[in-house]
Structure 1
Amino acid sequence: MTRASDSASRLLIIGASALQVPAIERARELGYQVAVADRDPEAPGVALASAFYEVSTIDEDGVTAAARDFAPHGIITIGTDMPMRALAAAAEALGLRGPSRRAVYNATDKGAMAEALRAARVALPWTEVVTSVAEMRAVTAGRPHPLIMKPADSSGSRGVTLVESEEGMDSAFEYALSSSRSGRVIVQEYMRGPEVSVEGLCFGDERTIVAITDKITTGAPSFVELGHSQPSQLSGERRRQIEEIVQEALAALELGDCAFHAEIIVTADGPKLVEIGARLGGDFITSHLVPLSTGVDMIGGLIDIAVGTRPDTAQRIRRGSAVRFLKSPGTPSRAPEARAMAGVVLVAVVEGTNARAVRSSTDRLGHVIAEGDTVTTASTTAEAAITLLLKREP
Structure 2
Amino acid sequence: MNSGIQSSSPASADDDGDTVGSEAYDTLAPLPEDILLRRDESDEIDVDEVDEEALINPSNTGSTAASNNSNSDAPPIDTRRTSHSGRPIFPVRHPTKEDMSQAKKLLTYLQNKHGFVIPDRGNLDDQSVLWKEGRPDYTIADLHYFLGKTTNHPRGSVELFVENFIKTWEMEATHKEFYQWNTVDQCAYEVCSNGGKVFDSQEAPWVGNYNWLLSSCEPDTWDSTKETFESSHGKFRYAFPEGFPFEVLQVFSGPPNVSFTWRHWAVFSGEFEGNQGTGETINMTGFGVVTLNDDLKAKRIDIYFDPTSFLDVLRGKAQYRDGKDRGVAFGDPIAGGLDAVASMMAAIELDDDDEDSDEDGAKVKGISTSGLATDERKGAATGRSGSRCPFSGTSM
- TM-score, normalised with respect to structure 1: 0.29
- TM-score, normalised with respect to structure 2: 0.29
